[in-house]
Structure 1
Amino acid sequence: MGSVGLLYVGAVLFINGLMLLGKIPGKAAAPMNYFVGIMQVVFPTLLMLQSEGDPAVVLGASGLYLFGFTYLYVALNQTFDLGGEGLGWFSLFVAVVAVVMGYLNFTTVNDPVFGAIWLIWAVLWFLFFLVLGLHRDSLTRTTGWFTVIVAHLTGTIPALLLLTGAYQSDSLWTWVMGIAGALALALSIMLGRPQHESSTVPPPPEPPPRRNARAAV
Structure 2
Amino acid sequence: MGSVGLLYVGAVLFINGLMLLGKIPGKAAAPMNYFVGFMQVIFPTLLILQSEGDPAVVLGASGLYLFGFTYLYVALNQTFNLAGEGLGWFSLFVAVVAVVMGYLNFTSVNDPVFGAIWLIWAVLWFMFFLVLGLRRDSLTRTTGWFTVIVAHLTGTVPALLLLAGEYRSDSFWTWVMGVCGVLALAASVMLGRQQDTPATEPPPPESPPRRNARAAV
TM-score (norm 2): 0.90
Residue of structure 2 equivalent to 1:190:
190
Name the CA distance, whole Å, in 2 between partners of 1:110 and 1:6. 19
Aligned to 1:140: 140
Distance in structure 2 (CA, Å) of the matches to 1:173 and 1:108:
18
Alignment of 1:79-118 (within 5 A): 79-118=79-118
Q: Deviations over 1:144-169 (max 9, x none)?
A: 00000000000000000000000000
Look up the SS of the partner of 1:174 in the other structure: helix
Residue of structure 2 equivalent to 1:54: 54
The one-letter amino acid of 2:32's match is: M
CA distance in 2: counterparts of 1:66 and 1:188, whole angstroms: 24
Where does residue 76 of structure 1 map in the other structure?
76
Q: Cα distance 1:81–1:178, how it changes in 2: closer, same or farther (>3 A)?
A: same
Tell me what 2:16 maps to.
Answer: 16
- Cα distance between partner residues in 1 of 2:43 and 2:194: 40
**Cα displacement (A) at 1:133:** 0.1
Give the 3 Å change call, closer, same or farther, for CA 196–153 of structure 1 in structure 2. closer
Match of 1:205 in 2: none
Q: 1:166 aligns to what SS in structure 2? A: coil
Match of 1:66 in 2: 66
Question: In structure 1, what residue type is equivalent to 2:189?
Answer: I
- Matched with 2:153 is 153
Instruction: Tell me how far 1:195 sits from its aligned partner.
Output: 3.1
Look up the match of 2:40. Answer: 40
Superposed CA deviations along residues 59-86 of structure 1, whole A, max 9, x for unmatched, are 0000000000000000000000000000
Separation of aligned partners in 1, 2:58 and 2:66: 13
* Corresponding residue number in structure 1 for 2:171: 171
Task: Measure the CA separation in 1 of the matches of 2:138 and 2:164.
Answer: 40
How far, CA to CA, are the matches of 1:127 and 1:12 in structure 2? 17
What secondary structure, in the 3-state scheme, does the structure 2 residue paired with 1:192 have?
helix
Q: Matched residues in 2 for 1:40 and 1:142: separation? A: 26
Between the aligned partners of 1:12 and 1:135, the Cα distance in structure 2 is 22
Structure 2 CA distance, aligned partners of 1:158 and 1:196? 31
The two structures, once aligned, show a CA RMSD in angstroms of: 1.0
Matched with 2:201 is none
CA distance, structure 2, for counterparts of residue 54 and residue 149 of structure 1? 34
Q: How far apart in 2 are the matches of 1:75 and 1:134?
A: 20
Unpaired segments of 5 or more residues in structure 2? 198-217
**SS in structure 2 of the partner of residue 23 of structure 1:** coil
Letter in 1 for 2:126: F
Structure 1 gap segments, 5+ residues each: 198-217
CA distance, structure 1, for counterparts of residue 43 and residue 169 of structure 2:
24
Deviation at 1:113, TM superposition (A): 0.0
1:133-188 deviation per Cα after TM superposition (whole angstroms, max 9, x unaligned): 00000000000000000000000000000000000000000000000000000000
Deviations 1:63-118 (A, max 9, x none): 00000000000000000000000000000000000000000000000000000000
- TM-score of the superposed pair, with normalisation by structure 1: 0.90
Measure, in 2, the Cα distance between the counterparts of 1:105 and 1:114.
6
- The letter of the residue matching 1:9 is V
- Mapped partners of 1:57, 1:138: distance in 2: 40
The percentage of counterpart residues that share the same residue type is: 89
